[in-house]
Amino acid sequence: MTEKEPNALQMLIGIATLGWFGYAWDAYMQIGVYGSILALFAGISFIYLARLDATEKTMPWLFGWNEEQTTTLLFRFTTFASLFVGPATRHLAQLIAPEFFAGTKSYSVVVVVSFIVALVTLLFLIPSSSKNAP
């Protein structure tokens, strides 16, 4: 084991960063319908670019091609999906059942839908990424 354990300052900075990300995600989920539509278009563009890049793997830092598929699915693609479909999912959940999905309950739907979208995206990208696999 060559790595040393983080000190207290590093752990406090890490906790503050996670708190900031949580606050930023919560603020992002509050965008309006127009922003949700733009996020959906950005998600479609992202999947299209990922599909193009799957054969050459020129952007591994963005799409996670050097990672295991489960790591890519659980962390990278789920995070991307929550950014792209999260606001629209929150709007739909509150439109369908506003009394049930009031407040932060709609975020549970966002997480589930984000995971499903990430799984479908990964399954969509696997055939094109395995074409040129050695």
Domain total in the chain: 1
Closest CA to 106 of 96, 116, 121: 96
Domain of residue 103 covers 32-129
Is the dihedral angle over the CA atoms 46, 49, 54, 59 positive or is it negative? Answer: negative
* Within-domain flag for 63: yes
SS3 label, residue 49 = helix
The model's pTM is: 0.72
Per-residue confidence band for 38, with pLDDT thresholds at 50, 70 and 90? very high
Backbone φ and ψ for 112, nearest 5 degrees, come out as: -65, -45
Query: In the predicted model, what is the mean pLDDT of residues 41-54?
Result: 86
- 116 CB neighbour count, 10 Å cutoff: 13
Convert the pLDDT of each residue in 110-122 to its tens digit.
888 989 998 888 8
Query: In the predicted model, what is the mean pLDDT of residues 14-40?
Result: 88
Contact in structure between 48 and 40 (CB atoms under 8 Å): no
Give the pLDDT of residue 1. Answer: 46
Amino acid at 77: F
Amino acid at 54: A
Per-residue confidence band for 134, with pLDDT thresholds at 50, 70 and 90? low
pLDDT at 89 over 60: yes
pLDDT at 45 over 80: yes
* Within-domain flag for 83: yes
Tokens coding 23: 């606050």
* Within-domain flag for 43: yes
pLDDT at 13 over 50: yes
